[in-house]
Structure 1
């Protein structure tokens, strides 16, 4: 039954144009920012894989989160969710199917755009500046995998949040304000940032991907711990959504 639900979600994704446009937006933001970095690089500087993937992590992943959330809120907006639940009475299977499709799409796109950004930058700068971006370098694949894991976990978080809030505007506001406004303000607040900052979800995402970002506090754990923490927060949000959706009228 779960395989049928996954296939149904895949068909839904292919039947509308918005996922394609959002995927193109991810590509433009990711590769465009990579090109800007390459053009602005100083003659004697070097560009590492973490910096090359900055556009993917900072701009591409939020768009992928919105795409994952809209797969849920869009059905609530149109009322199609009732038909979906009638076709699949076990509602948790619907959310799991949406999560599987969202995680897969987000992870694959994030990995491709990360590699694409690194290849683009390496092609635009001289050999010494882009020596860390060669595909034979371990750091390239480590960063690509980390960004893909971040994107997949973020998609799971977005599906859960979308199921809980059900309104597209509210979900998009939370998904954008949390990493770009709320967390930076909390992390920079004197007396609070050093204690609360290491517990912020997206601060942990930045820590395990290694993406350079404004952060004035030290983490409680290393990159692996940050990855587990962010994945745990995403999983907790999804489990909460499954429990609520199973009891709430569509």
Structure 2
């Protein structure tokens, strides 16, 4: 518990987490407001469309927050003090992963339900609400996806150690690479089915074709999709812990 308290204090002692949280909420809730305001009154909007800002852009900002949580320590060499206090290193990094995951979870839930609530206020006649299991996954599921994405980003930050490099790699992969993989002849589609954020999208949106981006082509069910995504993050975290133990701080 002491390690968790220390990591929480360290995280919120800088401005970047606060700014990242504000930007994430602005994107998640703001996109819902823009969509609700810009759509014709005669055309009801889909519930999944209200979550577009969070599921497409909010995740990217949360990953930046998580990466900065660890790379900033490497940049200013405060990680050395952390590892001197916790020589085995893994407990400190695990505590940091737990803290960033919880913060990301809270941000995701606030953003998701805030976006839905605002859209319902602006479009009271569209029948927006949590009417099915998939509706609940689409909204309440954003928090867990944020949390797992944060752990994945933090693990990558431990491996790369440089803020610019970690953030650039995360954003390029998330915003471009998974989509570009599909243009590889013959095998691109099959590879894309198993890429992490495409699978996470299956958990959030299922297979229904609604307004917004195309649904995930992952063959997994929503439950297994979340487990698969979490497994990838866990593998990266374990690799990061092993590397952190072997190299100099």
Q: Same fold (TM over 0.5)?
A: yes
Q: Is the 8 A contact 1:72 1:163 kept in 2?
A: yes
Structure 1 residue aligned with 2:166: 171
TM, length-normalised to structure 2: 0.92
**Alpha-carbon distance in 2 for matches of 1:98, 1:85:** 12
- Deviations, residues 110-146 of structure 1 (Å, cap 9, x unaligned): 011000000111111242x1x122x676554332231
Please, which of 73, 77, 80 is the counterpart of residue 78 of structure 2?
A: 80
Structure 2 residue aligned with 1:202: 197
**Alpha-carbon distance in 2 for matches of 1:224, 1:139:** 11
**Alpha-carbon distance in 2 for matches of 1:114, 1:60:** 10
Matches within 5 A, 1:1-250: 3-127=1-125, 129=126, 131-133=127-129, 139-210=134-205, 212-214=212-214, 218-250=217-249
Specify every segment of 5 or more residues in structure 2 that has no aligned partner in the other structure, as ranges: 207-211
Specify every segment of 5 or more residues in structure 1 that has no aligned partner in the other structure, as ranges: none
**Alpha-carbon distance in 2 for matches of 1:108, 1:161:** 22
TM, length-normalised to structure 1: 0.91
**Alpha-carbon distance in 2 for matches of 1:39, 1:224:** 33
Deviates further, 100-109 or 18-27: 18-27
The secondary structure found in structure 2 opposite 1:27 is: helix
Residues 126 and 143 of structure 1, relative CA distance in 2, 3 Å threshold: same
Q: Is the 8 A contact 2:102 2:147 kept in 1?
A: yes
The secondary structure found in structure 1 opposite 2:109 is: helix
- Deviations, residues 47-101 of structure 1 (Å, cap 9, x unaligned): 3332211111111121111111111100000011000111111200111011000
What is the RMSD computed on CA atoms of the aligned residues?
1.8
Q: Is the 8 A contact 2:137 2:205 kept in 1?
A: no
**Alpha-carbon distance in 1 for matches of 2:68, 2:229:** 21
Residues 214 and 187 of structure 1, relative CA distance in 2, 3 Å threshold: farther
Q: How many Å apart are 1:8 and its aligned residue? A: 0.3
**Alpha-carbon distance in 2 for matches of 1:14, 1:179:** 26
**Alpha-carbon distance in 2 for matches of 1:190, 1:43:** 43
The secondary structure found in structure 1 opposite 2:137 is: helix
Q: Is the 8 A contact 1:49 1:139 kept in 2?
A: no
Tell me the number of residue pairs that the alignment of Structure 1 and Structure 2 aligns.
244
Q: Is the 8 A contact 2:137 2:203 kept in 1?
A: no
